[in-house]
A and B are shown apart, each in its own frame.
Chain A
């Protein structure tokens, strides 16, 4: 790859003025990709607490209906709906996206491909600023007349389109605007990821030398870009329906509510892969390092990931099997949906095969990575039930679905997120985290997570529907309250289990052991520079001689072989 100008002259966009930077330009309006990545990370972690708090409130309501929730108060039907809606919205758009895609993408891409920064640093900063504004806007939505939007994160019209139906004249529009702005922010950020990966790789780094996590983040971003267009168009139409009385989605004015569902799910389904892929990349990096193994079938994984991306765009209508569209289309979408199990199975088989013959060390990042594989498997296989159209007739909008998608999303977002944070923490802050606190965090989270969602599968099988704030209204469901209480208690356990992490994260920044450049003895380029890396990343720009996963190469004394080391 050719060296681009800005690599040779890092000072072109301000890096040269390192010593002059004050607090303001370093932390609030940074141009440095690592700092922007950290801004996304902080925001994502903060929003995870908010989303988690919402889950606590609505789960308390389900366990003890009608009673006042400590720390919140009485949960009315309107606030229940607003809580679940914003819980979902926040977790997808304000936790998963900023943490997995934006934070890791920003922090890792330039470091792992061996360049000094993103190609467009100012655009990068703008991306975070727009994201920040969208975050503020989302909160504003809670304090307007009529309260926050409660029409579910899918926001189906006509409910979402008319204030007379949703009773949140301001909330609905502000919510929609916040989501739309958030999408704009990620589009801007994504442009940077792809351009940087394609143009700024260190000399010698061929396409098949790119670390898998960088591949997967890029594929995720491309997928996001291809799928999000229709949603943005839909959002504008919906905003018009809400505010100036058009009827794109309102039948009484000649519109079609099902059209929104197509636009939404054409984006919404690929979106779960946008979240999944970066995290699959993170897990791959970690299992190779901690088992000292080459990644099994690296090239095959890259090609297969492209296939996942393409397939994910032709499955959307499995969310609409019973939405009043022609029933004959169901079998086609059922088929494509179940087809997706094939590439995903390939990738997971390859991960499991990577462990074979390894020398596995159970450091905290590895625990999270292995935990992610073990837990995600259950999320993956339960997806087959829902892809089967005839079974979806029973499971649609049932808590079986809720359990299924949390078994995919929580391993992805939290297990994968914690794997990444604990693995790259030494690089980000130059210090090691505590292993003991880390293990406490891991086991607490794992046990309680299963305790929350296993009951939801069984409640779903018994016919319990979701988005219902008080099951006493349904005589056939009024029983089984014990299971609901059990799930809620486990949620409280899960939240408490995050305390060791918070302590660990904050304390280690100051008190952790010094990490040095390469504490895990890993091969990829981020580990050849100082921890934390200076502005411009590398004292001397690296040259790449080999792929990223040459661990335990026969005939070498060291069991790792950094990408930049000449033979």
Chain B
């Protein structure tokens, strides 16, 4: 079993790497503490005729048993902090130049995606709106603009290691760049009412050609719809 899902964005590797860093550091302390605990429990179990020792733990020498390991714990903490800071800056604080834009709108209990049409600009008449189906291009820096029409939702794409709350009254911009094609889950990761457990969508990471084919189909659909009126 692979413990992470597919890694499909330019920053998902950073997050997985951070995970392994933390696992190594805290794993060391965790195992050490458990071993020590079990060793002491076993070593000092009650034996006939053996009295416990009187140790107050208040002299400097005794305190060293606490503060020396603590010093190393602090070093571990600092290295985690530094690494976290740099990954966080990359994924949330900086906004690289976008080549594509898409609008993501959460509402009880569906996702609406607004793709710019052939002109590549949002809020024009050729926009393509889809429900629970998001199409993006692989190897393309994409900005998403996240909105909500009612309550809090959260736009989560596990294969990107991407997550952002959608807040009614605000438009929040973030970014991703897909590195791998395929079709994956989008989940809503903020309790949004009765249908929260249903609020899934699919993301289609397309090649340029796939994306164009899909768009042509959507335009065709729209024209048919208009014609039928």
Contacts and interface: CB of A to CB of B under 8 A. Distances in A.
B185 A463 contact: yes
Interface in B181-202: 184-185, 187-198, 200, 202
A227 to B, nearest CB: 23
A165 B193 contact: yes
Contact of A390 (B69, B84, B170, B202): B84
Interface string A150-166: 11101011110000011
Contact of B151 (A158, A345, A389, A477): A158
The secondary structure that dominates the A interface is: helix
A373 B165 contact: no
Contacts of B169: 251-252
A322 interface: yes
Contact of B41 (A158, A355, A357, A473): A355
Contacts of A293: 52-53, 55
B93 A328 contact: yes
Interface stretch (B70-78, B116-124, B204-212): B70-78
A463 B196 contact: no
A474 interface: yes
Scoring B22, B47, B172 by chain A CB atoms within 10 A of each residue's CB, the highest score goes to B22
A382 B19 CA distance: 11
Contact of A552 (B51, B156, B159, B162): B51
Interface string B60-95: 001101100110011001001101110110011100
Contact of A331 (B40, B51, B88, B152): B88
A393 B15 contact: yes
A354 to B, nearest CB: 8
B18 interface: yes
A37 B63 CA distance: 37
A264 interface: no
A342 B56 CA distance: 21
B137 interface: no
A255 B225 CA distance: 39
B63 A300 contact: yes
A362 interface: yes
A383 to B, nearest CB: 9
B13 interface: no
Interface stretch (A3-11, A77-85, A433-441): A77-85
Given A359-B52, A388-B22, A322 B36 contact: no
A226 interface: no
Interface residues of B, number: 86
B3 A465 contact: no
A322 B40 contact: no
Interface in A523-567: 551-554, 559
Given A294-B54, A385-B19, A391-B19, A352 B191 contact: no
B189 A348 contact: no
Interface in B12-35: 14-15, 18-19, 22, 26-27, 29-30, 33-34
Contacts of B46: 359-361
B54 to A, nearest CB: 5
Interface in A163-211: 165-167
A330 interface: yes
Contact of B152 (A158, A334, A374, A552): A158
Interface in A252-288: 252, 257-258
Nearest to A547: B56
A297 interface: yes
Given A345-B70, A389-B88, A476-B5, A398 B189 contact: yes
A16 interface: no
Nearest to B92: A327
B55 A159 contact: no
Contact of A346 (B14, B70, B158, B163): B70
B52 to A, nearest CB: 4
Contacts of A355: 37, 40-41, 44
A417 to B, nearest CB: 21
Contacts of B18: 388, 390-391
A467 B195 contact: no
B91 A477 contact: no
A59 interface: no
B140 interface: no
Contact of A339 (B45, B77, B159, B189): B77
B88 A152 contact: no
A299 interface: yes
Contact of A156 (B62, B191, B200): B191
**Which 7 pairs across A and B sit closest by C-beta, in order of nearness?**
A251-B169, A463-B158, A296-B57, A357-B53, A390-B87, A297-B57, A292-B52
Interface of B: 1, 3-5, 14-15, 18-19, 22, 26-27, 29-30, 33-34, 36-38, 40-41, 44-47, 50-58, 62-63, 65-66, 69-70, 73-74, 77, 80-81, 83-85, 87-88, 91-93, 108, 150-152, 154, 156, 158-159, 161-165, 167-170, 172, 184-185, 187-198, 200, 202
30 contacts: A77-B198, A81-B196, A152-B191, A154-B191, A157-B151, A159-B152, A167-B193, A167-B194, A292-B51, A293-B52, A295-B57, A338-B81, A342-B70, A349-B69, A350-B57, A352-B36, A377-B37, A388-B18, A389-B88, A390-B18, A390-B84, A394-B15, A396-B189, A461-B3, A463-B187, A467-B196, A474-B185, A475-B202, A476-B185, A552-B54
